[in-house]
Amino acid sequence: MPFAARSPLAPPVGAEQLVWHVLAAFPTALYLHHPERGLLPLVTAEALALPTAWRLPDSSTRMRWGVAAGDVIESLDHCILLPAGPVRAVRTWRPARVRRSGSYAVELPPSWAADRLGGGRGLTPEGDDEICGALLVAFAGHDTSIADAVLPQLDRTTALSASLVRAAAQGYAVPALVAYTDARLSGNRAAAGAARHAVEDIGHTSGPALIRGVEIAIAHRQIHQSPSLTKEPARA
């Protein structure tokens, strides 16, 4: 039986029997969806560490999902029941999260996120990737304005993308993107340059779109200034 590490952001898989639909199956990742529980990625050792995933220690050369998009599988007794055998989550792992960095507002037009949500092709549309990048910057500055605009409208995009937007609203993302965001916000150019290359390699269009979202949000930050203290005039 393959064992996995479960993210605390992953949808719950308990003792009861549930039916999951296979949204997509790739050598390194399997995407399952339940209409009430949401989207559950199972990823192999070399796959992106999606913040909502079950992570398996084996590489894709040793894992065979045995299912394809459109198939239906079940979970029972805390296991995903794949044709080759059950996968059980036996421990948890901690997804990467951006650091808080003061207090500021990301002053983008109210329509910025709404206009992008669901825009583009693929399991994670390009517009949603931009939103995820911006959400990380906003989270770091304690600003919920972008999250407040997009979270009620996630039925406009794909199930996978919606799960990643929800995670980004809480500051979670793949490690390379978190490292890039932290470095940009702290002004560490060397670290930002190193992390940028790793982010750019994500997907076909996702990497550049994620970076654009981070940069757009940083460009529209408005730092909250503390009220200046009134100085008493110097006495003669």
Express each pLDDT in 123-147 by its tens digit: 899 999 999 999 999 999 999 999 9
Distance (Å, rounded) from C-alpha 142 to C-alpha 119? 26
Q: Is the pLDDT of residue 116 over 70?
A: yes
Express each pLDDT in 176-220 by its tens digit: 999 999 999 999 999 999 999 999 999 888 999 999 999 999 999
pLDDT class of 236 with cuts at 50, 70, 90: very low
Distance (Å, rounded) from C-alpha 218 to C-alpha 230? 31
Q: Are the beta carbons of 40 and 54 closer than 8 angstroms?
A: yes
Q: Mean pLDDT score of the chain, rounded to an integer?
A: 93
How far is C-alpha 89 from the chain's CA centre?
20
Q: Are the beta carbons of 125 and 42 closer than 8 angstroms?
A: no
Top-confidence residue, 102 or 128: 128
In this predicted structure, what is the pLDDT of residue 231?
Answer: 47
Express each pLDDT in 19-44 by its tens digit: 999 999 999 999 999 999 999 999 99
Query: Nearest to residue 17, comparing CAs of 103, 82, 76, 95?
Result: 76
Q: Is the pLDDT of residue 235 over 90?
A: no
In this predicted structure, what is the pLDDT of residue 96?
Answer: 98
The alpha carbon dihedral of 175, 180, 186, 191 has a sign of positive
Top-confidence residue, 223 or 53: 53
In this predicted structure, what is the pLDDT of residue 228?
Answer: 47
pLDDT class of 226 with cuts at 50, 70, 90: low
